[in-house]
Amino acid sequence: MENQVVKRKLSFAETERLQVIFQRKMALLEILPTIKGQFDNESMDYLYEKVVHDLQQTNQLIHKWWLEVSEAHGWKYGESDTWNVNFKEQEVTIIHADSRKW
């Protein structure tokens, strides 16, 4: 079975909004490894929990962005599908894992 790849354009505002959220996620992922060994156990646990919580909220923002944008544009998206954003080209690529659904 062959995957179906669909490319769609994003507006500048849509791309910019996701890029801000995505940059936050990348910063949080970079912070996580540096917390260990830098602080006493109590402080380390507290900071680690804060970063993990913020990372979860950031992932929810990414998910919300995708739901809002795909709904606004009428893009179909299934549970087994994946999507990638090219920020430079302001383009989203949707890869439908099972082309029979579409």
Write the DSSP symbol of residue 97. Answer: S
Question: Is residue 2 a contact partner of residue 98, using CB atoms and an 8 Å limit?
Answer: no
Q: At what angle do helices 12-35 and 41-73 cross, to 10 degrees?
A: 160
pLDDT confidence band for 1 (50 / 70 / 90): low
3 state SS of 96: strand
Query: CB neighbours of 73 closer than 8 A, spacing ≥ 6?
Result: 8
What per-residue confidence (pLDDT) applies to 98?
64
pLDDT higher than threshold 60 for residue 101: no
Report pLDDT digits (tens) over 14-50: 999 999 999 999 999 998 888 776 667 777 788 889 9
Token output for 5: 């790849």
Range of the domain at 97: 4-101
Q: How many domains does the chain have?
A: 1
pLDDT in tens, 54-74: 999 999 999 999 999 999 999
**What pLDDT, on a 0 to 100 scale, did the predictor assign at position 102?**
42
